[in-house]
C-alpha cells in the first residue's frame, strides 16, 4: 500500500548524499523480498535502510534526524506518518490524496505527487531537500500548526464530546467549542 518501491526508484534519481529509512513493519514477506532485490538492482543499498520494527521512541528519533518525510500510498485517508512528520515540523512529500489536500487547504501542492510517479517524487524530494534552512523551519512551523489544529487528540475528543452533548440536548462543556 505504501509503495516503497516508488521511493526506492526515486532514490536512484537523487544524489548520493540522500539516504532513506523505511519500515518493514507489517510488510508482506514476498513484497519485502522484491523490494530488497529492487534496492540492490538500483544500486542504492548503501542509501536505503529497511528497518524491521521501529519503536515509538526510535520513530521520534528518526523524525528528529530527517530533513523530510515521504509517504506515497496509492490510497489512504490521511497517512499517520504524514501527520507525525507535520507535528514534528518536518517538510513532507506525499501522494496527492484528497485527505491530505483538504488538510493542507491548497498549500504545498509542489510537494504532492501523483501516486506511483517516481520521477515526480524524486523532483519533489529534491525541492524539499534544497530548501534553505530558514524556509524549511518556517514550513515546518506552519505544518506543525496545521497538524495540531487538525489532529490533536485532546482537541478533537473535546470537540466530539461537545457534538454529542449538543445532540443529546446538553450544554457544551467549558473546554470545547
pLDDT of residue 26: 76
CB 4 within 8 A of CB 35: yes
Predicted TM-score (pTM) of this structure? 0.80
* Digit-coded pLDDT (tens) for 79-130: 788 888 999 999 999 999 888 888 887 778 889 999 889 999 999 999 999 9
CB 63 within 8 A of CB 84: yes
Q: What structural domains does the chain harbor?
A: 4-150 (3.40.50.2000)
What phi-psi label fits residue 169: left (phi over 0), alpha (psi between -120 and 50 degrees) or beta? left
Residue 176 pLDDT grade (very low, low, confident, very high; cuts 50, 70, 90): low
* Nearest alpha carbon to residue 105 among 81, 80, 126, 86: 86
How many Å apart are CA 151 and CA 166, to the nearest integer?
22
Query: E strand or H helix at 23, and its extent?
Result: strand 20-23
Amino acid at each position: 500500500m505504501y509503495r516503497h518501491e516508488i521511493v526506492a526508484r526515486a532514490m536512484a534519481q537523487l544524489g548520493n548524499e540522500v539516504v532513506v529509512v523505511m519500515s518493514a513493519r507489517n510488510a508482506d514477506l514476498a513484497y519485502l523480498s522484491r523490494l530488497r532485490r529492487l534496492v540492490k538492482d538500483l544500486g542504492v543499498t548503501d542509501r536505503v535502510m529497511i528497518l524491521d520494527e521501529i519503536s515509538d521512541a526510535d520513530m521520534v528519533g528518526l523524525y528528529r534526524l530527517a530533513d523530510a518525510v515521504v509517504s506515497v500510498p496509492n490510497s489512504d485517508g490521511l497517512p499517520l506518518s504524514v501527520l507525525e512528520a507535520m507535528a514534528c515540523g518536518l517538510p513532507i512529500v506525499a501522494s496527492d490524496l484528497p485527505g491530505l489536500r483538504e488538510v493542507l487547504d491548497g498549500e504545498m501542492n509542489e510537494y504532492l505527487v501523483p501516486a506511483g510517479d517516481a520521477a515526480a517524487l524524486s523532483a519533489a524530494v529534491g525541492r524539499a531537500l534544497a530548501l534553505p534552512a530558514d524556509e524549511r523551519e518556517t514550513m515546518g512551523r506552519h505544518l506543525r500548526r496545521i497538524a495540531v489544529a487538525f489532529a490533536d487528540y485532546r482537541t478533537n475528543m473535546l470537540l466530539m464530546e461537545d457534538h454529542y452533548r449538543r445532540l443529546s440536548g446538553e450544554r457544551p462543556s467549558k473546554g470545547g467549542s
